[in-house]
Amino acid sequence: MSVVLQRIYEEDSKLGGYRVLIDGIWPRGISKEDAGLDEWAKTLAPSSSLRKWFNHDKEKFEEFRSSYKQELQNGNHQEELQRLKEKSDGGRVVLLYGTKEKEYNHAVVMKEILESKK
């Protein structure tokens, strides 16, 4: 199983695999052609209200993590998560995000979820 995180603005020459953008908003300054995506899973992004409340504040990260995981328990998210999990079982999945914050963001939580799914 291989799930890796990468900021979409970074060069991807060393990372092969299934490339999934998991932001709800398209990143500025990147064309869809240059992004080289296999998928844009915007429905897996945190809700706008949760994203705005969190604002990458490390003091709020634990509460954000809990709230985001709770959001992903609803709707069709479980099917999407399972599909990505299955892709990671067969090869590398690269979760792409736009924020400069590498430690306190939703991609970190998404990676934890995918790695814990059975």
pLDDT at 10: 86
pLDDT by residue, tens only, the chain of 118 residues:
689 999 999 876 567 899 999 999 999 999 988 888 999 999 999 999 999 999 999 999 999 999 999 999 876 798 999 999 999 988 999 999 999 999 999 999 999 999 986 5
- Whole-number Cα distances in Å, 56 to 42, 47, 89, 102: 18, 14, 30, 10
pLDDT at 13: 53
Which of 75, 115, 82, 105 has its CA nearest to residue 6? 105
Asked whether the whole model's pTM tops 0.85, one would answer yes
pLDDT at 14: 60
Residues with Cβ < 8 Å from 2, sequence gap 6 or more? 17, 88, 91, 92, 93
Q: How many domains does the chain contain in total?
A: 1
Range of the domain at 95: 2-116
Q: Measured in whole angstroms, how far is the alpha carbon of residue 62 from the centre of its chain?
A: 17
